[in-house]
């Protein structure tokens, strides 16, 4: 095929045919055994009671079970909260989990979502995971999926937390993503909230006393998260 013909054909094809955005295609993890077991555990847990708050996300949300447990027990356990966070998840994995029943039968007053940090940056082979535009599309797809599944529940969409050093490429990428997804706030059922500043020092750096690895909060970090989110979440739960 000559170059001219290729370009003409390319112009006629949907972009998804040329290069599909992995961030919006529901998928299991590369090594899904334990991951699927956790998903099935969530399905069983969801049937055990009524939950007023549902948290959805990756390892940062998953961390409420360990480093953030004391804070969780203070703020969220009394509210019958359900944690659907799995470490390492990306937008496509959350989409798969939702499509396979994790929100079925639930009627929470509010859902707390933070996802997308694992779609940024590079793979082990140094290839890019997803572009900024692709991550934005992925987060948007998750938001739409949650709203479809739970039309009566309010959604608190958290900005992706800052990570890495001040000049790290992912820091800049995350800032762009947050600026875009902030527009998903509709003033009614979807509320966007950026609390990233509570994890930063005056110079923009992340103190290791809050995030030892510059990504995952420790107990102090989870306390700051809860305190910063509380006024907004409390209002959504009324």
Give the residue numbers annotated as catalytic, written as ranges: 59, 213, 216
> Which 3 state secondary structure label does DSSP give 102?
coil
Beta strands in the chain (DSSP E): 53-57, 81-85, 110-114, 154-158, 190-193
Q: Are strands 110-114 and 53-57 parallel, antiparallel or unpaired?
A: parallel
224: left (phi over 0), alpha (psi -120 to 50) or beta: alpha
Whether residue 119 contacts residue 134, with contact meaning beta carbons closer than 8 Å, is answered with: yes
Q: Which residue has the tokens 């609390």?
A: 195
Q: Which residue in 59, 147, 71, 61 sits closest to 108, CA to CA?
A: 147
Cα 141 to the chain's mean position, in Å? 11
Q: CB burial class (10 A; 0-12, 13-18, 19+) of residue 43? A: middle
Q: From CA 238, how far away is CA 161, in angstroms rounded?
A: 26
155 CB-near residues (< 8 Å, 6+ apart): 110, 111, 113, 143, 146, 147, 189, 190, 191
Torsion of CA 81, 82, 86, 87, to 10 degrees: 20
């Amino acid at each position: 095929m000559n170059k001219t013909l290729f370009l003409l054909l390319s112009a006629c094809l949907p972009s998804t045919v040329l290069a599909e955005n992995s961030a919006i295609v529901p998928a299991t993890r590369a090594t899904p055994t334990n991951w699927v077991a956790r998903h099935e555990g969530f399905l069983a847990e969801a049937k055990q009671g009524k939950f007023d708050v549902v948290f959805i996300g990756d390892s940062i949300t998953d961390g409420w079970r360990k480093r953030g447990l004391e804070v969780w027990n203070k703020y969220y356990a009394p509210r019958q909260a359900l944690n659907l966070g799995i470490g390492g998840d990306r937008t496509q994995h959350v989409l798969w989990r939702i499509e396979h029943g994790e929100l079925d039968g639930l009627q929470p007053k509010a859902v707390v979502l933070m996802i997308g940090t694992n779609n940024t940056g590079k793979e082990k082979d140094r290839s890019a995971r997803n572009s900024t535009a692709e991550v934005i599309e992925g987060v948007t797809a998750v938001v739409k999926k949650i709203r479809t599944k739970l039309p009566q529940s309010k959604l608190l969409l958290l900005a992706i937390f800052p990570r890495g050093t001040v000049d790290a490429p992912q820091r800049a990428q995350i800032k762009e993503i947050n600026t875009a997804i902030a527009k998903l706030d509709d003033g009614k059922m979807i509320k966007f909230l950026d609390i990233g500043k509570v994890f930063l020092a005056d110079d923009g750096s992340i103190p290791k006393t809050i995030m030892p690895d510059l990504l995952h909060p420790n107990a102090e970090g989870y306390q700051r998260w809860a305190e910063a989110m509380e006024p907004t979440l409390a209002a959504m739960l009324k």
